[in-house]
Amino acid sequence: MTEGENLHSVSIGGDSVKLAVGTYAITTPAIGSVSGRYNFSHPLSLEPSYTSTNALAGQLTIKYFYSVKYVMSGTFYFDAVNNNGQKVQVREGRFDVKLY
């Protein structure tokens, strides 16, 4: 990152969730759940990260999962909130990943 650049990142994670083709609710991070996080940072500020919660809508849809070659693709959306109560909406997310 160079001075003056904003950095935005989105992550979807699961703790002890066996994923397959299907649809999953994005909720508060916990064992057995899928959660979302949005981060924004700027070199001159310390913005907090935003995390999905049970009270906010979110969905992960796995459309393709090939277990032999460990390839997965799908879509997602979620709302997330930071410690100050500010909310962000992450929409029309798409992924194609090789799992390791």
45-94 pLDDT, tens digit per residue, is: 666 688 899 888 899 999 999 988 889 999 999 999 988 888 999 999 99
The CA angle 36-2-81, to the nearest 5 degrees, is 20
Render 17-48 in DSSP notation, one character per residue. Answer: ----SEEEEB-SS-TT-EEEEEEEEBTTB-PP
User: Using one digit for the tens of pLDDT, what is the confidence trace for 10-19?
Assistant: 888 888 888 8
pTM recorded for the entire structure: 0.80
